[in-house]
Structure 1
């Protein structure tokens, strides 16, 4: 995959950005890291305890129904990212992200006390709506505040925070589940998130952004802004390179969530029969994503985003296939490779889409990226459960890898420079 040549027009507005070594840069990184922990610890906290939620007395759930606990949150997120992006244009990214973290954490406490499965799903949808603010605006916040040459590296650091959030939600949640059940698990994760939300507010305020100078608008500014927003959406959804990235991330994220949703069932079922805590230890594979997300940003600068992305997709396929081996060690290695590769791909793609769109459209492009990212999580994370329930782990893995390969090929075709595409026609 080569760098696309058809990027959007850039606005000439001068922006105040931070670069490595400048005051506020490290605080900005700390704030992004903390926000990533809050958002993704909460989103995926139920994942390691899905077998316990399924077994809740009186609920009578199937595996696919239990997995809706995860899909409900990502559905709420996908459905609301554009709303948050519009609010950020009016009120600024920092206050909107703060609001997002407050809502997400509050819903975490309510989820632990849900009286029934329907109530739990409703709370999870609302939690996803809250999380959408951070998920939609993180990359736009980076593009606004960071020197363009440092965007891939900072995006990688932010994704590292999301991996640690996902890791803490799963591993800490699994450990707490053996003490307090799935409710104690969700409560513990909510408490951790509360601490990191406070860290974001402090670090983010001290490195608070100064908005770029705005061009004076005529009296009908509201109508003009609305037209501009619609124009941004159209451009992002018709630009070949951004559409390629949206399609790719839809599939890759859906595959990751499906892998983690049903991995817990796979390990607690025959012949393994592992405890919830033991299953949680497998989720330490997320640490591979913490490392690879940062490394991918540097690799993208050195070798190019396209090459780095292609290698990451290939590694995901290899990792998924490795989980077909029955040995527990092979399962752990396969999950580690799959996770490591996914977050490398995500770190590259998330930073790339904002830069393709340019500063003035980065918020819309990033919000759409989040929409497709979490739509994949909600839809494929649930749908991939049917082959597992009816045909077993092998069928699940083969279907998942086939879809990932197809998405990789489509993205490769759409991300190539137009001149290369014309030469092959």
Structure 2
């Protein structure tokens, strides 16, 4: 659900301004980008070409986050190749998620110093190498280490791409560009699984990573050509962002939201991993069923924004909880399961932007590090999903569905139990 992965477009129609190394929503309109050089104030601003920038960033977002979800349908073929059980390989999904989360925290601040384009291009080029190495992994243990490394290098893209959009895309085109970027992150949950399943059936499970490595090479070259050059920044230290994070984790108004964040992708990844491990039939159609929901939710953002954020978040997670509970209770056929997965996807797709909006609003001046923690915790939760599925799938889809329902229900209650922000009403 990548996404929304690092930072996501909010439910309000707003412009965006850079805040350190992440993109942050703000109600203020802006008419010029922040300065990235010593250019004089009367010099005309230099904006990136919108169409090519949005296209290449959206495609990169799709390919990058697909690396997380693609491993789910590849568990069976990889297990057969290595003569082991598929459940024992769920760590290959978790390993990437943990590395991905770490990459968010590591590379965002570094791009303040070394430049957005340099970090993005270097990260994608490095990901081409690490993805190719995953394809060549001789066994599960080597693959585990390589998946962590692949996650770290891939994590250089999302936060820096968001900051680049804030700085280098013309204000009137920023919302469109960031929407295409986050659509790529979200769609990866479906597209990554579909492409991986197709390539594994036609060729071999390693083919997804071979093709991915080649695609990352091509994208690195295109990004180098399309993205505008930027000079390293010398004002401030990347360490400032790191120092700001620990106090945010214990703030009473943010802690319940951070705890709720860990449940979102944990449940989403777990249900799809559980479907794979339990040998559910019709997986191709089940995976594809979520895509229309992912594409439709942003179109409803203006209507959803009328619901107060706390209530909207609780209702979204409760909806997802109901969906997985009904999966466990009803044991539905393929069509019923597809409809319930659409319900789960809708809840998750609404919860993610609501969390980013609420956390950013409550954090105030600490918005950038607060949102970075959110992004890292979101994918730390995603890393737990396969382990939950691996533990419970042996007891059937019902046990997994009920456990995930309880997890999401706890996530729904947490924001309501936490203190209300004094001035925002969130």
* TM-score computed with the length of structure 2 as normaliser: 0.78
Cα distance in 2 for partners of 1:196, 1:337 equals 34
Query: Structure 1 295/318 Cα, relative in aligned 2: closer, same or farther at 3 Å?
Result: farther
Cα distance in 1 for partners of 2:247, 2:127 equals 31
Is it true that 1:343 corresponds to 2:349 in the alignment? yes
Query: Mapping of 1:26-425 within 5 angstroms?
Result: 26-57=51-82, 59-63=83-87, 65-141=88-164, 156-205=179-228, 226=239, 228-266=240-278, 268=279, 274=281, 278-295=282-299, 297-299=301-303, 301-324=305-328, 325-357=331-363, 361-389=366-394, 391-414=395-418, 416-418=420-422
Alpha-carbon shift at residue 302 of structure 1 (Å): 4.7
Alpha-carbon shift at residue 201 of structure 1 (Å): 4.5
Alpha-carbon shift at residue 112 of structure 1 (Å): 1.5
Contact 2:49 2:169 in 1 (8 A): no
Please list the CA deviations of residues 321-350 of structure 1 after superposition, one character each: whole Å capped at 9, or x if unmatched.
332333111111112221232122223323
C-alpha RMSD of matched pairs (Å): 3.6
Contact 1:384 1:396 in 2 (8 A): yes
Cα distance in 1 for partners of 2:59, 2:398 equals 37
Higher helix proportion? 1
Cα distance in 1 for partners of 2:186, 2:298 equals 11
Query: Structure 1 410/62 Cα, relative in aligned 2: closer, same or farther at 3 Å?
Result: same
Stretch of structure 1 that moved more, 167-176 or 78-87: 78-87
Query: Structure 1 200/42 Cα, relative in aligned 2: closer, same or farther at 3 Å?
Result: farther
Contact 1:114 1:120 in 2 (8 A): yes
Cα distance in 1 for partners of 2:205, 2:167 equals 39
Alpha-carbon shift at residue 172 of structure 1 (Å): 1.2
Contact 1:76 1:125 in 2 (8 A): yes
Query: Structure 1 51/195 Cα, relative in aligned 2: closer, same or farther at 3 Å?
Result: same
Cα distance in 2 for partners of 1:296, 1:352 equals 18
- Secondary structure of the residue aligned to 2:204 is helix
Alpha-carbon shift at residue 401 of structure 1 (Å): 0.8
Cα distance in 2 for partners of 1:93, 1:356 equals 27
* TM-score computed with the length of structure 1 as normaliser: 0.78
Alpha-carbon shift at residue 175 of structure 1 (Å): 0.9
Please list the CA deviations of residues 167-211 of structure 1 after superposition, one character each: whole Å capped at 9, or x if unmatched.
232101101111212112332344445455555444443xx7799
For structure 2, which runs of at least 5 residues remain unmatched after alignment? Answer: 1-11, 13-18, 21-27, 35-46
Aligned to 2:15: none
Contact 1:157 1:293 in 2 (8 A): no
For structure 1, which runs of at least 5 residues remain unmatched after alignment? Answer: 4-9
Cα distance in 2 for partners of 1:148, 1:357 equals 24
